[in-house]
Amino acid sequence: MRQAFLGLLALGLMAASGLAQARAAEGERTFFPAPAQQARVLNLTAATDLEAMAPLIRGFQKTAPDVAVDFRDMVTNDLFEKAERACAEQRPEADLLISSAVDQLVALANDGCVLAHRSRETSALPAWANWRDEVFGFSFEPAVIVYDSRHVPPEDVPESHADLADLLRLKPDRYRGKIGTYDISKSAIGYLLAFYDSQQAPMTYGRLLESFGRAGTLTRCCNKDVLDALEDGRIEIAYNVLGGYAYAFHLQHPYLRVVVPHDYTIVLSRGMVIPKQAAQPDLARRFVDYLLSAEGRAVTDRQAFYFSAANPLPDDVTGPKALMASGIGRPIAIGSALLAARDRAQRERFIAGWVDVIGPGQSR
């Protein structure tokens, strides 16, 4: 099944390169022409890679062949700020927003900036992936550890958060400058994962943070930047990378191995909302329902390199195969509790403490 996955991923990458525009840079648009005579255009803004979304967009267009999709790829903070301004100015910015920073989407919903949608597909979501029929989670993304097996020997492979803290404490010189993770002062998803780390195991989080500080940790804004540093040898262990991206890199570079921590694993569900001023809200609702449908979930699992809550983790991933059934998976519930993570004073204190220990982002 995973060999088929690799083939489909390769096809998806080749298809992406043949779009009307080349692969979008951050904030740029890629236009997916309608397969049939174009009647309407869905404006979709997402904080996710084009390669991940292209199979889903093309799958949706099979169900709506007269619909073109104007796709904009943005970083989480920029997406949120643009959506906030559009809401305040009561003007359309996009028909659908997709982001891994679900706390930001909850904030938009809490401020009355999104439309509700209820359907058979949204009603079937677990409670932690649907807030007030306004914010919907559609992916299953565990936060994982990735390591370079060419340089990290088997006895050093960290299989838990505590293992990683211990490794850096016992072998500080060996791994100094060889660890990478998000810069949470720049990355909304990095901040969210770190915040939930601190809640799941406060003592372990404190030890890990201290170890990162001593290790001269490389910090970056995004999944891809951290994984690129791992792939080109600047670092040897990456922490809190989203599992789907990590596994896609593993398929391309088999020496990069993925570990699902066995003490606990934070699970993120990438969220989506329909802005209140959406010009095509009915098309946005159709796209939401497609992503949540059996057909959309199948494309998500096989071609978009997201994991699934229903399926076991791949055999070549170290860790529990039935993540949720084992109790190790700890989903970040989409709901009002996320607003606590967005409290300005708390956020500033948390980030300041993190920067004080780890230091500013490293540029090497």
Contact in structure between 67 and 283 (CB atoms under 8 Å): yes
- Dist CA 28 CA 233 (whole Å): 29
- Dist CA 321 CA 315 (whole Å): 8
- Tell the residue number behind the tokens 């004073």, with chain if given: 345
Closest CA to 148 of 234, 219, 274, 241: 234
Contact in structure between 67 and 29 (CB atoms under 8 Å): no
In the numeric block, which tokens belong to residue 262? 């066995």
> Which domains are delineated in the chain?
2-140+269-292 (3.40.190.10), 141-267+313-358 (3.40.190.10)
**HSE (CB half, 13 Å, CA atoms) of 246?**
28
- Tell the residue number behind the tokens 């850096």, with chain if given: 168
Closest CA to 348 of 194, 237, 185: 185
- Dist CA 119 CA 97 (whole Å): 18
Closest CA to 260 of 197, 329, 211: 329
Alpha helices in the chain (DSSP H): 2-17, 50-63, 76-88, 102-110, 120-123, 161-170, 172-175, 188-200, 202-214, 223-231, 243-252, 281-292, 294-302, 338-341, 344-358
Closest CA to 258 of 140, 155, 144, 152: 144
What single letter denotes the amino acid at residue 195? F
- At residue 3, the pLDDT reads 40
pTM, entire model:
0.79
Q: What is the DSSP letter of 330?
A: E
Output the tens digit of pLDDT for each of the chain's 364 residues: 344 333 333 333 333 333 443 343 446 889 999 999 989 999 999 988 788 889 999 999 999 999 999 999 988 888 999 999 999 999 998 999 999 889 999 999 999 999 999 999 999 998 889 999 999 998 888 999 999 999 999 999 999 999 999 999 999 999 999 999 999 988 888 998 999 999 988 999 999 999 999 999 999 888 888 999 999 999 999 999 988 888 888 989 999 999 999 999 999 888 999 999 999 999 999 999 999 999 988 887 766 556 665 566 777 788 776 777 778 888 888 998 888 877 888 889 999 999 988 876 554 4
In the numeric block, which tokens belong to residue 317? 């991933």
- At residue 189, the pLDDT reads 84
**CA 108, chain centre distance (Å):** 18
Close Cβ partners of 152 (under 8 Å, ≥ 6 residues apart):
236, 237
Kind and range of the H or E run holding 45 = strand 40-46
Helices and strands: H and E segment counts in the chain: 15, 16
Close Cβ partners of 343 (under 8 Å, ≥ 6 residues apart):
none
Close Cβ partners of 241 (under 8 Å, ≥ 6 residues apart):
143, 144, 145, 146, 223, 226, 227
Q: Which residues of 109-122 are buried (b: 16+ CB within 10 A; e: fewer)?
A: bbeebbbebeeebb
- At residue 310, the pLDDT reads 57
DSSP collapsed to 3 states, 276-298: CCCCCHHHHHHHHHHHHCHHHHH
Q: How many CB atoms lie within 10 A of CB 19?
A: 18
In the numeric block, which tokens belong to residue 347? 């956020």
- At residue 363, the pLDDT reads 46
